[in-house]
Amino acid sequence: MRRGSAMSKNLFITGTGTDVGKTYVTGLILKKFKEHAQSAAYYKAAMSGNDRRGDGTLIPGDALHVRSVSGIDQPLEDMCPYIYETAVSPHLAARMEGNPVDLKRVLEQYDRLCRTYDYVTAEGSGGILCPLRFDEQKIQLEDFIKTRNLGCLIVADAGLGTINAVVLTAEYMKARGISIRGIIFNHYEEGNPLHEDNRFMCEHMTGVKVAACVKEGDRDLDIPFADLESLYVEGEIR
């Protein structure tokens, strides 16, 4: 829990697409904070593709994974206000299940975490363009990011096609005035010429540094804690 009166520092984790390893990387990030005895929380506005418990309630799978990997003791019910069973984009899952995202509720729950913990790591759904709601109201991930002035970390697969995916994601974010704090490559293979060139090219073409590379099966994030902490900036709490 929060120690002291300073404003929380925050970071938003986005990806170049679905299944690039955002939740896996986020779990390693939170583990690092736990190991350094920091007051840190996880947040995801909307989570789809979840299983049900025996009593019929939905299990927030990504939140459970992050908590299990990191060892943080944050209650699951504080991690995600909107949980869906259908494994599709949240805007479609919400429409199918009759539970649309309310941005006010998303922000209120996020702000409570920011008042309670020193560091809050928010994870997006899919890539940066994934809609949270698309009916009479239209809510994008960037509405949450920009309303709370969050800096972002891009998670990308280290393999073939990542130059295009990373550069397009970064250019979209820059055009929308979203701060990019760094890139993390997942499934990285040291000594693989493709992966090493992808790292060089993505840094060169975006002007954004690769903060860390995660190898298959890594249980720790290979980055000094001070460098990881420096990616977090004070956001806005209301």
Q: Is residue 5 part of a domain?
A: no
pLDDT in tens, 95-142: 999 999 999 999 999 999 999 999 999 999 999 999 999 999 999 999
49-70: average pLDDT: 95
pTM of the model: 0.95
Q: Is residue 115 part of a domain?
A: yes
Cβ count near 60 (within 10 Å): 22
Q: Is residue 100 part of a domain?
A: yes
Q: Is residue 20 part of a domain?
A: yes
pLDDT in tens, 159-214: 999 999 999 999 999 999 999 999 999 999 999 999 999 999 999 999 999 999 99
Q: Is residue 238 part of a domain?
A: no
Can you give the CATH number for the domain in which 72 is found?
A: 3.40.50.300
**Total count of domains within the chain:** 1
Res 51 pLDDT > 90: yes
Res 5 pLDDT > 50: no
Query: Distance between CA atoms of 96 and 90, rounded to whole angstroms?
Result: 10
Res 4 pLDDT > 50: no
Domain that holds residue 152: 12-230
Query: Distance between CA atoms of 142 and 114, rounded to whole angstroms?
Result: 18
Q: Is 44 marked active-site?
A: yes
Q: Is residue 3 part of a domain?
A: no
Q: Is residue 156 part of a domain?
A: yes
Exactly one of 9, 22, 44, 138 is catalytic; name it.
44
Q: Is residue 208 part of a domain?
A: yes
